[in-house]
Amino acid sequence: MTAFEEEGPFDIEDFDDPADAEVARLDLGSVLIPMPEGGQLQVELTATGVPNAIWVVTPNGRFTIAAYAAPKTGGLWREVAAELAESLGNDAAEVVNEDGPWGQEVVGVAGSVVRFIGVDGYRWMIRCVVNGSHETIEALDQEARTALADTVVRRGETPLPVRTPLPVQLPEALVEQLREAAAAQQAEALPPEEPAARRTAEESQQMRTTTGG
């Protein structure tokens, strides 16, 4: 057993006090992840504004850790890994299956490198996606594995179909930042407001033209 396997990822049920799981971890609802030094968040939203993916960005690249509903018996990652390898091959990437700390990992190599790491838990599966350049991927892999080894999964009791993504909830401070960014983008998209005197003159001209005056 490797050092990573001796650590985590953990189930929140492993903690006597669930509040302890929030210490030094970013609470994203279904997963609580430690942030690497200098790491920042990058949020991808759907057209309706729902978080689709949350990436941890470091100087070496980026990675995401997401949880999915899975059978009690485990084994889902083996199926998913085979499908990922096939999909990468169809995209003309060089595909390599490697043996990592938690078992099989799928690596796709093209202009950049993408690594998929999976972990089966009780009624959940974690998929970690690591994406970086050829020059920095080794350091990025280490950052992602370190974060994954200390991640906590909050599965919940709600029955869900297998492979359903477990819900992500952003911290309120991050939600407020996204609101402000969206408002700023909307303001930039609006045409500049014309001076009041110019608008009044144009409106008067339009009125005279309409009335024939």
For 23-43, write each residue's pLDDT tens digit: 999 999 999 999 999 999 999
Total length of the chain: 213
Range of the domain at 97: 3-170
Report whether the peptide linkage leading into residue 51 is cis, meaning its omega lies within 30 degrees of zero.
Answer: no
Mean pLDDT rounded to a whole number for the chain: 87
Who wins on pLDDT, 204 or 115?
A: 115
Pair 80, 109 in one domain = yes
Asked whether residue 176 is assigned to any structural domain, the reply reads no
Pair 143, 47 in one domain = yes
Pair 81, 149 in one domain = yes
**Total number of domains in the chain:** 2
β-partners of residue 109 are: 94, 113
Pair 129, 153 in one domain = yes
- The answer to whether residues 119 and 102 touch, using CB atoms and an 8 Å cutoff, is yes
Q: Report the predicted TM-score, pTM, of the whole model to 2 decimal places.
A: 0.81
Would you state the pLDDT for residue 205? 52
d(CA 209, CA 201): 12
Residue 17: CATH number of its domain: 3.40.1000
Highest mean pLDDT, choosing among 71-75, 151-155, 168-172, 179-183: 151-155
Would you state the pLDDT for residue 186? 72
**176 pLDDT higher than 90:** no
d(CA 180, CA 202): 34
pLDDT band per the 50, 70, 90 thresholds, residue 144: very high
Asked whether residue 200 is assigned to any structural domain, the reply reads yes
CA dist list (Å): 8 to 22, 83, 134, 137: 15, 25, 27, 22
d(CA 71, CA 23): 29
pLDDT band per the 50, 70, 90 thresholds, residue 143: very high
Report the relative pairing of strands 152-153 and 10-11 from DSSP bridges: parallel
Asked whether residue 175 is assigned to any structural domain, the reply reads no
Query: Residues 117, 165, 161, 71: what is their CA dihedral angle, to the nearest 10 degrees?
Result: 30
Would you state the pLDDT for residue 155? 96
- The answer to whether residues 80 and 125 touch, using CB atoms and an 8 Å cutoff, is yes
Highest mean pLDDT, choosing among 48-62, 88-102, 118-132, 189-203: 118-132
pLDDT band per the 50, 70, 90 thresholds, residue 187: confident
